[in-house]
Amino acid sequence: MKRWIPVVLVVLGGAVIALSSGSEPRVGSPGPVAPSPDPSTQLPPDHPPLTDASIPAPPLGSGTGANALTWDTPEGWTAEPPASSMRVAEYAIPGDAGPARLIVYYFGPGQGGDARSNAERWAREFEVPGGGDPVEAAIIGSYDGGQIPVVTIETRGTYSGGMTAAGPSGEARTDYMLLGAIAEGPDANWFFKLTGPEATVAPQKGAFEEMMGSLRPGN
């Protein structure tokens, strides 16, 4: 004679568990598990979400007048209209290996995160030759050579950073180089990020450093 055993199905956290009299629970197919966040995409505290195309402009009066930064543009760099309210300036830089681009970001007082955290985040956008820690491979320094304190970063390798209207580009670009600087403006940090083929960027290092040395407050 067959004996019927009652079975109770319980759903816990997306998993189906079958409970029957005198038996251990059996776990069915689990539900989807959220992936762990990629540390390379984590923004520093107080940094606006770069994927939001509707980010409002900084507060009225911030980053302008006495609170602005001014610099000398290197010869051969072409200024272009900024693509979003987060950007205050953009430059196209020609080169035989392909063009490079400098983007200057300004988010307003209390926004954007600290300089060191941003430099390390930019470093993590690169996969360095031979593997290893991209932050350790980057050259991160600081200087007060001009009127404005600056934290600098230089690195190279396979670049998967950068932003599009839909978010991170995700496109891996080999033999790329980054020259970056976070400048302490009168009321907030300004972020200078130059990326492009290494053969284009490397010869521009001196011009970039001269540009950073020319930083000064005011329009």
Tens of pLDDT, residue by residue over 131-156, are: 899 999 999 999 876 789 999 999 99
The two structure tokens encoding residue 159: 């670049």
Confirm whether pTM is higher than 0.85: no
Q: Is beta strand 173-184 parallel, antiparallel or unpaired with respect to 150-159?
A: antiparallel
- Percentage of the residues of the chain whose pLDDT score is greater than 90: 53
28 shares its domain with 126: no
202 and 147 in a single domain? The answer is yes
Distant-in-sequence, close-in-space partners of 210: CB < 8 Å, separation ≥ 6: 72, 74
pLDDT average, residue stretch 186-192? 94
CA distances from 172 to 126, 139, 183, 197, 199 (A): 9, 21, 28, 12, 17
Averaged pLDDT, 51-59: 60
Are 86 and 189 contained in the same domain? yes
Whether 143 is in a domain gets the answer: yes
Tally of domains within the chain: 2
pLDDT in tens, 82-127: 988 889 999 999 999 999 999 999 998 988 889 999 999 999 999 9
Helix or strand run (H / E) with residue 195: strand 189-197
Domain shared by 1 and 80, yes or no: no
Please give the residue range of the domain that contains residue 213.
Answer: 67-217
> What mean pLDDT value characterizes the chain?
79
Token pair of 208, please?
């970039």
